[in-house]
Amino acid sequence: MLLICGTIPRDDLTIVTGEAKFDGDKLIAGDTEISCTQGTAALVSAACVVATHYQAPAPQVIFAGDTGNGQGSRLLYDYLSKNLPRINPDILLMHYILPVMGLMKRVCEAADKCARKPVMMADASAMYAAKAAGLAGRFDIFTPDLSEMEFLADAEAIHPAYISHHLFRAEIARIDELITAAYLQKSMAKTVVVKGAIDHVVQDGKITYTLDRPDLPQLEAIGGTGDTISGMIGAFIAAGFSHYDAAIKALKANRKAGEYAKATPATKVREIIAAIPLALNHN
């Protein structure tokens, strides 16, 4: 079972649990309807599309409403710390959540108590918390963009806003240096998928795959197009693919979906997600 956990930008929700469904426009989690916008909603929607394509079980979700003050995030950390061993997911994908290092550590400890340790995935601020807390080595998959890769390479940084200036000059030619630095200081998950103009799959500190076609620079502007990759990777793994194959299939599907959607900088992520089925049929 793929379990996706993250916050939703609403003040009227506490904890929402249940099966996720995406109808092509809206995301339904349990009995709650959620707009398919940038963030965890986009990630879950993309995962739903992949699950449907492979006739796999729909993702299970645990959401908390949080518009930024962190109260929902703390509820979510607490819920996971208490309930993960009972839920016992095959894959735990953590996403938008206020980074609180001590609470992330508790979630990892709870994951260790599962009957079988889940595949551990983190993106967005869940990844920030895991790295800052020194827990990166307990994760199987991180999915940073290039600026987040710079954050992973900075031994001191506890958030991408505070990385050293010299690291924020990274051009694509230097990504191997960032990967080496992050790997040596144990800030990398076992598999890291770096999303960017050139996508990189990194395994145990080595670049094992790159992708730069179709070339769609406008995807970088569209909020949520990194979230969709992370969600699809989780869903591909749940459908039985290896971590490496899941990463490649997600990267390819995301670019093809952007192409089929005729993406422009004004395109909304739900339009990209709506094109994923077409991309999967030709992937």
Partner 1 sequence: MFFKRKKEQGRFAGGGLVLFQSVEEAIAAEKVLQAHGYEVKLVAPPPQLRKGCDLAVEFNIVEKAGVERLLRQKDKHYAEMLPVKGAGELLDVVKVTYFNDACMVKAGNMKLTFDKNTGVILNISGGGCPDIPFLHISMLDKKLTEVDRPKDKGHTLCALMLDRAFVGALEIFANKGVR
Task: Spell 74-100 as b/e; 16+ CB within 10 A means b.
Answer: bbbbebbbeebeebbbebbbbbbbbbb
Show the binding pattern over residues 207-226: x = contacts partner 1 (CB under 8 A), - = does not. Answer: ----------xx-xxxxxxx
Pick from 30, 70, 205, 277 the residue near partner 1 by CB under 8 A.
Answer: 70
Query: How much of the chain is in helix, strand and coil states, percent to nearest 5?
Result: 45, 20, 35
Choose between 9 and 118: whose C-beta lies nearer to partner 1: 9
Of the listed pieces 45-53, 61-69, 177-185, 244-252, which binds partner 1 according to CB under 8 A?
A: 61-69
Length, in residues, of the chain: 283
- The H-or-E segment that residue 112 falls in is helix 101-112
Q: What is the nearest approach in angstroms of partner 1 to the Cβ of residue 125? A: 4
Residue with tokens 């040596």: 184
Cα-trace Rg, the chain:
17
5 binds partner 1 (CB under 8 A): no
Pick from 3, 41, 247, 261 the residue near partner 1 by CB under 8 A.
Answer: 41
Choose between 47 and 280: whose C-beta lies nearer to partner 1: 47
d(CA 277, CA 259): 13
266 binds partner 1 (CB under 8 A): yes
Pick from 2, 7, 175, 193 the residue near partner 1 by CB under 8 A.
Answer: 7
Q: Which amino acid is residue 170, in one-letter code?
A: A
264 binds partner 1 (CB under 8 A): yes
Of the listed pieces 15-23, 39-47, 237-245, 253-261, which binds partner 1 according to CB under 8 A?
A: 39-47
Q: Which residues pair with 121 in a beta bridge?
A: 93, 141
- The H-or-E segment that residue 64 falls in is strand 60-65
Q: What is the nearest approach in angstroms of partner 1 to the Cβ of residue 245? A: 26
Near partner 1 in 152-171, by CB under 8 A: 154, 156-165, 168-169
Instruction: Please give the DSSP secondary-structure letter assigned to residue 25.
Output: S
Near partner 1 in 96-155, by CB under 8 A: 96-103, 105-106, 123-128, 132, 145, 147-148, 151, 154
Extract the tokens encoding 10: 């609403």
d(CA 23, CA 220): 25
Q: What is the nearest approach in angstroms of partner 1 to the Cβ of residue 89? A: 21
Q: Which residues pair with 64 in a beta bridge?
A: 7, 15
Near partner 1 in 172-201, by CB under 8 A: none
Name the residues that contact partner 1, by CB under 8 A.
Answer: 7-9, 35, 37-41, 66-73, 95-103, 105-106, 123-128, 132, 145, 147-148, 151, 154, 156-165, 168-169, 217-218, 220-226, 264-268
